[in-house]
């Protein structure tokens, strides 16, 4: 595979650690709790499972997630092509007196890495969207595991409101003529638009880091979005199957007796919960034509914010207000219409006083695959 990882080049050129987390104090305690909640309650892997397990992680950045597995007793092998991160990883493991749990750090990309070893858990978090042939990469991850694989992807529908935020932000920057090199001014406008709601998320990453990695990252385009059924359609040949995920939406086991065979497919579960991915709740019944329009707008938002297309490309779109049973369609439409005035203060006010400023959706999905029969542990 010859896959161009444009996100890696963005991080290298700008010397960015996309998820820089302080390893002391309240932020670190919050990070530990969030990772524990993710693995135990969503991915159904208890912390005790990691003891003496081997973990292979691609793209660990500064090792802030990998160290959690080491704290739980795992031996970790890390594949990090961003050399700026290597010293941070070594220092982090040294700080926690866990250098003995760090088996190796390789500089390969996921495309270039080869190994005859098998690991209990293989992880690829936060970068799969930046690759092409992503379904093939998932198969490659499976080839290194004898038990479980965890990866993340950018969901086509769940990304709508994050893409919308990028779109609003880019339009304001364009109207104000903010230079791409002027991060101070970029940060100022980001705070005006998003800081209040971002601070309510209690994210373990800083606002500055989020602005760089989510709002300004040019790598996130319409080509980086996926739906789960497409990503996992070829894994049956690998012996792996869908086991769990976050957001948690697989209800096939709910209110069921353990002797009863699980009915339905994970594909069906995905489509039944698209509203949850978009809104953060499941209170809208979208028609196929509605989802097509949301998909079209999401693609436009991302490609405009990445400077791939012009703002006037929007003129030929059907109004998003035509989705009559969606509580957010009118607000989104009003904000889009406000952008034609070319008044950044008006746009900022229109966005910040709207209910959609509070909506984040479910843009990034975790998927856990297990080898053999799916069993919740």
Query: 184 CB contacts (<8 Å, ≥6 apart)?
Result: none
Q: How many helices (H) and strands (E) does the chain have?
A: 15, 7
State mean pLDDT over 129-144: 92
Q: How many angstroms separate the CA atoms of 364 and 42, rounded?
A: 14
pTM score: 0.90
Alpha-carbon separation of residue 161 from 76, 286, 302 (angstroms): 35, 16, 11
Task: Tell me the mean pLDDT in the region 148-157.
Answer: 97
- Residue ranges matching CATH 3.40.50.150 in the chain: 6-154
d(CA 95, CA 77): 18
SS3 at position 12: helix
Asked if 163 and 302 touch (Cβ cutoff 8 Å), the reply is yes
Question: Which residues have a Cβ under 8 Å from the Cβ of 229 and sit 6 or more positions away?
Answer: 266, 267, 270
pLDDT at 106: 96
> What is the average pLDDT value for the chain, to the nearest integer?
90
Q: Which fold has domain 6-154?
A: Rossmann fold (3.40.50)
pLDDT in tens, 322-356: 998 999 999 999 999 999 989 999 999 999 999 99
At 206 the pLDDT is 84
Contact 100, 71 (CB under 8 A): no
Q: Is the pLDDT of residue 235 over 50?
A: yes
pLDDT of residue 282: 85
- Does pLDDT of 180 surpass 60? yes
Q: Are strands 54-58 and 145-154 parallel, antiparallel or unpaired?
A: unpaired
């Amino acid at each position: 595979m010859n896959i161009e990882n444009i996100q890696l080049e963005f991080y290298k050129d700008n010397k960015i650690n996309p998820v820089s987390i302080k390893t002391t104090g309240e932020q670190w305690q919050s990070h530990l709790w969030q990772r524990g909640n993710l693995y135990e309650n969503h991915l159904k892997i208890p912390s005790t499972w990691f003891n003496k397990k081997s973990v292979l992680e691609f793209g660990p950045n500064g090792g802030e997630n990998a160290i959690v597995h080491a704290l739980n007793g795992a031996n970790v092998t890390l594949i990090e092509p961003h050399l700026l991160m290597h010293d941070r990883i070594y220092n982090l493991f040294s700080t926690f007196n866990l250098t003995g749990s760090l088996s190796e750090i390789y500089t390969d990309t996921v495309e270039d890495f080869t190994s005859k070893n098998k690991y209990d858990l293989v992880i690829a978090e936060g970068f799969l969207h930046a690759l092409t042939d992503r379904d093939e990469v998932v198969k490659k991850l499976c080839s290194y595991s004898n038990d479980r694989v965890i990866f993340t992807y950018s969901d086509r529908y769940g990304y709508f409101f994050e893409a919308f935020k990028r779109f609003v932000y880019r339009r304001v920057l364009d109207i104000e003529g903010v230079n791409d090199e002027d991060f101070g001014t970029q940060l100022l406008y980001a705070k005006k638009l998003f800081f209040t709601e971002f601070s309510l998320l209690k994210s373990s990453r800083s606002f500055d880091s989020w602005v760089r990695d989510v709002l300004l990252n040019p790598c996130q385009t319409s080509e980086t979005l996926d739906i789960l059924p497409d990503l996992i359609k070829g894994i049956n040949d690998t012996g792996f199957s869908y086991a769990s995920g976050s957001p948690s939406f697989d209800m096939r086991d709910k209110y069921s007796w353990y002797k009863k065979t699980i009915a339905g497919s994970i594909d069906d579960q995905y489509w039944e919960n698209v509203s949850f991915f978009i809104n953060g709740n499941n209170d809208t019944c979208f028609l196929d034509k509605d989802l097509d329009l949301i998909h079209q707008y999401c693609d436009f938002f991302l490609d405009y914010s990445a400077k791939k297309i012009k703002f006037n490309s929007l003129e030929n779109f059907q109004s998003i207000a035509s989705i009559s049973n969606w509580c957010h369609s009118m607000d989104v439409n009003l904000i889009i219409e406000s952008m034609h005035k070319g008044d950044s203060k008006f746009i900022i006010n229109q966005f910040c006083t709207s209910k959609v400023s509070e909506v984040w959706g479910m843009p990034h999905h975790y998927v856990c695959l297990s080898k053999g029969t799916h069993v919740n542990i």
